[in-house]
Amino acid sequence: MEKKWLKWAKQLQTIAQNGLEYSNNKFDIERFEQLRELSIEIMSEYTNVDNSKIRTLFANETGYQTPKVDVRAAIFKEDKILLVREQKDNKWSLPGGWADIDLSIYENVIKESMEESGAKVKPKRIIAVLDRNKHIDDIYPYSIYKVFVECDYVEGKYQENIETVESSFFDINNLPELSVGRNTKSQIEMCFKARKEDVFEAIFD
């Protein structure tokens, strides 16, 4: 369960950002700026991260506050799933990342799969749209919708890139150490379950 202080800090930041977007009164704007600073102070106090970095990572946006979108490709070849080893933590995940603007979910999945694993894929169906913070127990400032898309593997060869160091196929009983912030074991198992069912109802929470 998300820590209360983190939930409150995120709520304060959301109220502040939305207020700054829609307020014209200079006194209201000043109050919303104070609220944003308070949310930064809370995050900094509990994470021991410098205020300036919190401001850059946590309170750096304008406009109405909305969740970020992370796409993940569940690429299957026979009874195995394709994972990539991340440069940042040396652990494994489904190919994917932040959705780019001007690209659909379908197009983003194709792009991320090629960039991170060298795999040419054909997206097949959405397995799930999950709220990241309902499934991962850590301190994370953003609200994220994670979209898992089942894909058929067409062909490919791993290409060196700036985000991953290798790719490989794994069966369900031989998964490597996962990059849990990107995907959990239960989410990988969910993808295998969807693969086995001809009719699979997409999961969302």
The domain segmentation of the chain, as residue ranges, is 4-58, 68-204
Overall average pLDDT of the 19-26 stretch: 92
Q: At the topology level of CATH, where does 68-204 sit? A: Nucleoside Triphosphate Pyrophosphohydrolase (3.90.79)
- Tell me what pLDDT residue 83 has: 98
How far apart (Å, rounded) are the C-alpha atoms in residues 53 and 59? Answer: 9
Cα-only R_g, the chain: 19
| Residue-wise pLDDT tens digits, 2-20 | 788 988 999 999 999 999 9
How far apart (Å, rounded) are the C-alpha atoms in residues 189 and 179? Answer: 15
Q: How far is CA 125 from CA 146, 153, 203, in A?
A: 14, 13, 12
| Residue-wise pLDDT tens digits, 54-102 | 888 788 888 888 899 999 999 999 999 999 999 999 999 999 999 998 9
Count the Cβ atoms, other than its own, within 10 Å of residue 56.
10
Q: What is the pTM of this model?
A: 0.82
Overall average pLDDT of the 152-171 stretch: 96
Contact between 145 and 132 (Cβ < 8 Å): yes
Residue with tokens 């900094």: 44
| Residue-wise pLDDT tens digits, 102-142 | 999 999 999 999 999 999 999 999 999 999 989 988 878 77
Contact between 32 and 106 (Cβ < 8 Å): no
Q: Does pLDDT of 156 surpass 80?
A: yes
Contact between 174 and 84 (Cβ < 8 Å): no
Count the Cβ atoms, other than its own, within 10 Å of residue 90.
10
Bridge partners of 166? Answer: 85
Query: What's the pLDDT band for 1 if we cut at 50, 70, 90?
Result: low
> Is 168 strand, coil or helix?
strand
